[in-house]
Each structure stands twice: as structure tokens, then as C-alpha cells.
Amino acid sequence: MIGPNAIVTDSALVTGSAIVDGSAIVDGSALVTGSARMDELACVDGLARVDGSDAFPLLHGFDGGYYWTAFREADGTPILRFGCERHTLKTWTLAFQRAKLKQHDKSPKQALARVVRTARAFLKGERTKVSS
């Protein structure tokens, strides 16, 4: 089901019993399927895959004035989107966080650190092998 305010663009797909509602965005070649549920301002793009399973989970929230989303790409690579920045979870080092805060907005320093810790705990590692 795709809600009236949700956006699904490009070659992105929403299939099965997946729900994309609120102002959620599914873009690029992203696939949302199975029992996945996206709402509010969750955003997946690129080669994201979300199916509601442990292999391809989705976590999103709002902290420090910014929406964020943690998910995996089809090859298992963990991704964290915080505000307008989208990078592999491995990229979000302390030095990288400081550089992005300096570039954009210094105020969410503690929130960004909290979100990175949460995403790492939720996605449990830098990469999960995905069988074909």
C-alpha cells in the first residue's frame, strides 16, 4: 500500500504487503517489500532494500532537528541518511561527523553521535553477507 502523501519515484518498487505511508520517500532503484513499513519522513534510495526482515531492516526517526533513516542496500551495505547526507555507515566516523557538522549545522552534534550509535547497534556491523 502506498499512502496519498508518500512518494515512490524512478524505478523504485513497493510490493507484497509492504506499507509506505505518511511522507515517506522511496527513490532510485530501492525495493520495499515483504512486511516492511515506512512512514513519517523515512527515506530510502539508491539500491536500498527493505523487507521487514533481520537481513533488510529499516529504522528511522527525528533527532537534533533532522530526520534520519538507517537501512541496507541490496548487497548488504549499511547506509545512514541524516538530514540531506547519505553515506555508508562505515563512513560516519567521528572525524566525518565533525566535518559534516561544520559544513551544515553544528547544533545537532550530540544527536548525530546518538543516531550513529543507534544505527550501528541496529544494523549490527558494517556489512551483512547476502545470499543470491
Write the pLDDT tens digit of every residue in 33-86: 999 999 988 999 999 999 988 889 999 999 999 999 999 999 999 999 999 999
Question: Across residues 99-127, what is the average pLDDT?
Answer: 91
- pTM: predicted TM-score of the whole model, two decimal places: 0.87
pLDDT score of 132: 38
**Residue 28 to residue 40: CA distance in whole angstroms:** 19
Flag whether pLDDT at 127 surpasses 70.
Answer: no
Which own/partner pairs from 68-71 qualify as long-range (CB within 8 Å, at least 24 positions apart)?
68/115, 68/119, 69/42, 69/43, 69/44, 70/115, 70/118, 70/119, 70/122, 70/123, 71/44
For the chain, what are the domain ranges?
A: 7-123
